[in-house]
């Protein structure tokens, strides 16, 4: 077989050579140890939480070594292409601080010396390498029809090694004449690798996350170019990650089974293989077992979910790091206020079998993150969220931004801030009693507080309440009225002789709290009273009094 002639026959328009591209895309001039990683999405427009997670791992791998992180769009499957998808995905990433140094930086816009970063624009490059493989006798055209391939698939049902290899690789050794005839007859062809693997050969690699892996060597003559001349994932991965000088391929672990193919391709192409870091999928507990976080079953599988619910990106990032590195939480305990960028991210500390998604944990992490934010930040982030997802909240804020910020500042910016808010969508309920529009009275009492006690307390307090009080004065005033309503200002004293009293200062406060807020548990009642204003306070106390009078 004259391989050179065959290569000309198959790729007559391809005049550039691998040497040309090697020169065109030289080694990167980076410091020792700097890692080059990428995110390589198909433009579906849907960002799965698992994609974001893998992408974060890839990004951190580059950033923690002063390397380069780039985005390459894997758009060879035109059927799956969705307009505007890349913009949606890049925006989704940027919310979490993931901004590529290079590659596709916004829809249709590329940056960097290794362009094009859209696979659909790299057809000639793939073909130049494919042509070179044909010239070396390492790849061949295969004319098998879909029907023939189906037959082989059926015949191989009980075979341990499937695919086109050995006796099934029927077109491996066609003569140039036969090939010419097939082409003249208009038969479609794919280009297959002439696999140099042997059945008892082994493939070894040291995965950065999973450790040492040993698998059977690839023996399949895998398709590298489809009949339309577009590369398969396998071939594009090898050519692109080589030419873009990726040092670490961080990707989902569903690709582990194909890695022997990839390593073989790197070898026949004469490329140095990258290091692999295969990320296990995010799992979810269900009925005592575990399954993958599912786009179909779990709303939290969509990255848009977090924005819609109003989880601040800081919380999600913090949570993702708890999933990513087993030592993150210890680090956080030692470095309470440190920025996440300071965390020494390490691929070796990733879970091998898949981290478990836990909503309760996310909620806790987020409450903690939000509790540390100053009120102004809570206000502005939640206002941005509200404008998009909760216009009613935005309208309340707009009535008086300063008052809204003061409400959000209750029990905040101190040593032990409260942790009531996990996400911005918690805020409407959290502050509802602070606005006439959303206040819903509820006069249920707890502890020793009864309607009869409530009547006594409220009758007194309506006259006593003074919005000019300092916090201490306010509390002294409440304690001061206890005796006159049959209660003690001293909880200890009450506990020693409960039969002597109708209740204690806590019960008196409960009555006032319930009257003013409709709740038995709220942040600082003094601050709430001050922000409600005299008129509302008196009006709510009187309304409650009327209610309890009827009940008592
Ligand atoms: N486009 C592939 C995917 O979305 C990329 C895998 C990779 O990172 O190499 O699964």
Q: What is the mean pLDDT of residues 521-540?
A: 98
- Cα–Cα separations (whole angstroms), residue 443 to 19, 271, 475, 515, 522: 82, 75, 22, 7, 14
* 3 state SS of 286: strand
* DSSP category for residue 380: H
Mutate to test the pocket of ligand 1, among 46, 73, 81, 233 (most ligand atoms within 8 A of CB): 233
Q: What is the pLDDT of residue 339?
A: 95
Residue 369 has pLDDT above 80, yes or no: yes
- Residue 72 Cβ contacting ligand 1 at under 6 Å: no
Structure confidence at residue 78 (pLDDT):
75
Global confidence as pTM: 0.94
Q: Using the predicted structure, report yes or no on whether residue 81 has a pLDDT greater than 80.
A: no
The region, left, alpha or beta by phi > 0 then psi within -120 to 50, assigned to residue 466 is: beta
pLDDT, position 31: 97
Q: Which residue has the tokens 């691998």?
A: 18
Please work out whether the CB of residue 77 comes within 6 Å of at least one atom of ligand 1: no
Mean pLDDT estimate for the chain = 97
Mapped onto helix, strand or coil, the DSSP state of residue 511 is: helix
Supply angle C-alpha 487, 491, 495, rounded to 5.
Answer: 95
* pLDDT on residue 77: 84
Bridge partners, residue 277, by sequence: 250
| pLDDT tens string 265-321 | 999 999 999 999 999 999 999 999 999 999 999 999 999 999 999 999 999 999 999
Query: Which contacts of 460-469 are long-range, i.e. CB under 8 A and separated by 24 or more positions?
Result: 460/484, 460/485, 461/511, 461/512, 461/541, 462/538, 462/541, 462/542, 462/545, 465/529, 465/537, 465/538, 465/541, 467/529, 467/530, 467/533, 467/534, 467/537, 469/526
Q: What is the pLDDT of residues 124-143, one digit of tens each?
A: 999 999 999 999 999 999 99
pLDDT at 552: 85
Mean pLDDT throughout 78-84? 80
Q: Does the structure show a pLDDT above 90 at 362?
A: yes
Any atom of ligand 1 within 6 Å of the Cβ of 530? no
Whether cis (ω within 30° of 0) applies to the bond prior to 116 is yes
Atom 8 of ligand 1: nearest residue by CA position? 251
Percentage of the chain modeled with pLDDT above 70? 100
Round to whole Å and give the CA distance between 214 and 486: 79
Other C-beta atoms closer than 10 Å to the C-beta of 111 total 15
Alpha-carbon gap, residue 54 to 433, rounded angstroms? 42
Residue 80 has pLDDT above 80, yes or no: no
Q: What is the pLDDT of residue 381?
A: 98
Q: pLDDT at position 305, please?
A: 97
Tell which one of 71, 231, 255 to mutate to probe ligand 1, the residue whose CB is within 8 A of the most ligand atoms. Answer: 255
What would the pLDDT profile of 14-47 be if each residue is shown by its tens digit?
999 999 999 999 999 999 999 999 999 999 999 9
Give the up-direction half-sphere exposure of residue 165: CA atoms within 13 A in the CB hemisphere: 17
Distance 250 CA to ligand 1 centre (A): 9
Any ligand 1 atom below 6 A from CB of 71: no
pLDDT at 83: 85
How sure is the predictor about 170, in pLDDT bands with cuts at 50, 70 and 90?
A: very high
39 Cα nearest atom in ligand 1: 8
Residue 318 phi, psi dihedral angles, 5° rounding? -60, -45
Q: In angstroms, what is the span from residue 252 Cα to ligand 1's centroid? A: 7
């Amino acid at each position: 077989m004259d391989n050179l002639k065959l290569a000309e026959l198959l790729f007559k328009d391809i005049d550039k050579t691998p040497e040309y591209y090697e020169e065109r895309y030289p080694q990167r001039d980076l410091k020792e140890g700097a890692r080059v990683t990428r995110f390589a999405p198909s433009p579906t427009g849907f960002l799965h939480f698992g994609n974001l997670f893998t992408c974060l791992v890839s990004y951190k791998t580059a950033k923690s070594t002063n390397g380069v992180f780039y985005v390459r769009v894997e758009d060879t499957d035109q059927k799956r292409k969705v307009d505007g998808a890349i913009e949606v995905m890049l925006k989704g990433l940027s919310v979490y601080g993931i901004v590529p140094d290079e590659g596709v930086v916004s829809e249709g816009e590329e940056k960097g010396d290794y362009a094009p970063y859209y696979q659909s624009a790299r057809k000639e490059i793939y073909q130049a390498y494919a042509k070179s493989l044909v010239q070396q006798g390492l790849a061949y055209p295969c004319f098998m029809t879909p029907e023939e391939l189906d037959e082989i698939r059926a015949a191989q049902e009980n075979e341990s090694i499937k695919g086109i290899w050995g006796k099934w690789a029927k077109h491996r050794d066609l003569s140039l004449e036969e090939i010419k005839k097939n082409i003249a007859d208009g038969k479609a062809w794919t280009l297959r690798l002439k696999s140099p693997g042997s059945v008892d050969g082994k493939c070894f690699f040291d995965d950065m996350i999973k450790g040492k892996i040993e698998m059977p060597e690839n023996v399949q003559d895998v398709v590298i170019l489809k009949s339309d001349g577009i590369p398969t994932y396998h071939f594009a991965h090898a050519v692109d990650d080589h030419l873009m000088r990726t040092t670490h391929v961080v990707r989902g672990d569903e690709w582990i089974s194909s890695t022997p193919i990839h390593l073989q391709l790197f070898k026949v192409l004469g490329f140095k293989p990258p290091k692999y870091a295969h990320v296990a999928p995010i799992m979810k507990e269900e009925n005592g077992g575990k399954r993958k976080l599912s786009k179909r079953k779990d709303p939290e599988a969509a990255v848009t979910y977090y924005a819609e619910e109003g989880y601040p990106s800081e919380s999600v990032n913090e949570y993702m790091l708890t999933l990513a590195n087993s030592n993150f939480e210890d680090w956080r305990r030692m470095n309470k206020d440190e920025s996440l960028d300071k965390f020494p991210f390490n691929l070796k500390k990733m879970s091998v079998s898949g981290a478990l998604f836990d909503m309760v944990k996310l909620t806790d992490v987020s409450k903690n993150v939000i509790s540390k934010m100053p009120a102004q930040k809570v206000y502005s982030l939640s206002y941005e969220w509200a404008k998009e997802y909760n216009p009613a909240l935005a309208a309340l804020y707009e009535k008086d931004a300063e008052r809204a910020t003061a409400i959000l500042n209750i029990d905040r910016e101190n040593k032990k801030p409260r942790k009531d808010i996990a996400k911005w969508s918690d805020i409407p309920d959290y502050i509802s009693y602070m606005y006439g529009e959303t206040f819903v009275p509820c006069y249920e009492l707890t502890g020793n507080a009864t309607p009869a006690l409530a009547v006594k307390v409220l009758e007194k307090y309506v006259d006593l309440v003074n919005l000019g009080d300092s916090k201490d004065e306010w509390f002294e005033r409440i304690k001061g009225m206890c005796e006159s309503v049959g209660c003690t200002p001293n909880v200890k004293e009450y506990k020693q002789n409960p039969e002597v009293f109708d209740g204690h200062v806590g019960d008196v406060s409960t009555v006032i709290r319930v009257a003013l807020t409709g709740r038995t548990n709220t942040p600082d009642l003094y601050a709430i009273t001050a922000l409600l204003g005299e008129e509302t306070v008196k009006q709510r106390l009187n309304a409650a009094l009327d209610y309890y009078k009827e009940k008592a």
